[in-house]
Amino acid sequence: MYKFVQPIYTLVNRYILADSAELIQSGDPFFKETVRIIDEAKEIIHLQTYIFADDETGRTVADALIKAANRGVKIWMLIDGYGSKELSKAFVQKFIDAGIRFRFFGKLFSGESVSAMRRLHHKILVADQQEMLIGGINIGDKYHGTAKEQAWLDYAVLIKGDCCRMIHRFCEMMYDKKIYNWEKVHLKQPANGVQVRFRLNDWVRGKRQVYSGYKYAVKNADSSITIVGTYFQPGFRFLKLLKAAVKRGVRVRVMMGSISDIPMFHHAETWLYDYLFRNGIEVFEWNESVLHGKAAVVDEEWSTVGSYNLNNLSKYKTIELNVDIKNAEFSKNFNQHLTTIFEEKCRCVKKEEYLKKTNIFTRFRNWIAYSYYRLFMVLISSRE
């Protein structure tokens, strides 16, 4: 049984009740919900994301937003200036002409970005302060899938209820470049619901809530830890927590991708395999498309889903938002979903097989990639 403790009585630390919380996978399920939420919005929409692509998927979402604006819905869009730097002026102008309040977050070397590495990495859509999507899925064909390419695997959570007012306030704070107390919004909570907690990582504001949540969950796990770990490069302390969990008898499984949009990063991930094997951590590789998910399930009672990657870039530089869900039904279903993927669509990587397929040259390449990554992280962030 996962051990939960209420640390202090502030909304940022204690769980609040949502009317409902539903896991949504990338591909058609996510983008159908995205368009539906926009189409049904009556008063106000906030959309904030790292990548908004000018492709078929991006144009579909853009058309829905413009239609909503034309029927009187007030819309604010905050899009990362680096992740979406390829958007043309003409594409952006369509939003502005429709009356949508649009701006880029922190063009490189701007005062808002503070450093080139501080990016707006969270992905949020909230409508009428009562319904929202929070996760790791950007807006573009890669995340939707095409006739030639399967969607990158990722997740979001569809949340309904008055708790959405908190994230609406958070989006206002980000758009207005002001520090609002979004964590203490007065909420009307249902008599029964799903316990959720919104967690922010933003080094400028001294927030490392997502990372703290991961650490606490791993330290207190009793039976199982399942991690969807794209760009999986946790620090030494976190790896030791996983090692300690295995010694307590906890089953630890990590999903990584065999296909990567950043090959060098994949080589760095592969260098960790030996450590994971030696410490009884099971490794599974997703083979059907790029893995882009960032999530975890502990003891089938607690889950976290969002934009936060288990690496120092998310920990120390980018702005990330996750939702923690303390609900046995949600977590059990999510864990079973991942187990099905492990069994049917992943390859369980065994130490003996891995050693046979690698040689001194590939291992040296992987070590170089890992060492380069670690040096890069030391240069841009604090040491762990």
Per-residue pLDDT tens digits for 339-366: 999 999 999 999 888 887 788 888 888 8
Here the CATH number for the domain that contains residue 89 is 3.30.870.10
Check pLDDT > 80 for residue 169. Answer: yes
Q: Are residues 185 and 56 in the same domain?
A: yes
Model confidence at 65: pLDDT above 60? yes
Whether 47 and 159 map to the same domain: the answer is yes
* Domain co-membership, 83 together with 148: yes
List all residues 6 or more positions away from 180 whose beta carbon is below 8 Å from its beta carbon.
169, 170, 172, 173
β-sheet bridge partners, residue 7: none
Q: Against a cut of 0.85, is the pTM above it?
A: yes
The single residue listed with the structure tokens 């899925």 is: 137
For β-strands 282-286 and 251-257, DSSP reports them as: parallel
User: Which amino acid is located at 207 in the chain?
Assistant: K
211 and 156 in a single domain? The answer is no
Name 282's Cβ contacts closer than 8 Å, sequence gap at least 6: 251, 252, 253, 254, 276, 348
Count, residues in the chain? 384
Is there a single domain that holds both residue 212 and residue 178? no
Tell me what pLDDT residue 185 has: 81
Q: Are residues 209 and 337 in the same domain?
A: yes
**Closest Cα to residue 197, out of 93, 290, 305?**
305
Q: Are residues 284 and 165 in the same domain?
A: no
Sort residue 145 into left (φ over 0), alpha (ψ -120 to 50) or beta.
Answer: left
Which is higher by pLDDT, 250 or 264?
Answer: 250
Query: Is residue 1 situated within a structural domain?
Result: no
221 plus 145 within the same structural domain: no
Which of 143, 165, 192 terminates a domain? The answer is 192
Q: Is the pLDDT of residue 190 over 70?
A: yes
Rounded Cα distance between 159 and 132, Å, is: 5
- Quick: pLDDT tens for 216-253: 999 999 999 999 998 999 988 999 999 999 999 999 99
Give the H or E element holding residue 306: strand 302-306
**Is there a domain that residue 7 lies in?**
no
- Could you tell me if 21 and 194 are in contact, meaning their C-beta atoms sit under 8 angstroms apart? yes
Residue 180 has a pLDDT of: 74
Q: Are residues 267 and 314 in the same domain?
A: yes
Confidence of residue 54 (pLDDT cuts 50, 70, 90): very high
Same structural domain, 242 and 158: no
- C-alpha distances (whole Å) from 16 to each of 11, 184, 190, 268 are 7, 11, 10, 38
User: Which helix (H) or strand (E) segment is 45 a member of?
Assistant: strand 44-49
Domain that holds residue 286: 205-380
Give the lowest-confidence range in 46-60, 103-117, 152-166, 255-269: 103-117
Residue 345's DSSP bridge partners are: none
pLDDT value for 381: 62
Is 198 a domain residue?
A: no
34 inside domain? yes
* Alpha carbon distances (Å) from 23 to 33, 295, 323, 348: 11, 11, 11, 24
Report pLDDT for 183: 80
Contacts of 246 (CB under 8 A, 6+ apart): 252, 279, 280, 281
Q: What is the mean pLDDT of residues 329-347?
A: 97
Helices 28-40, 56-70: crossing angle, 10 deg rounding: 10
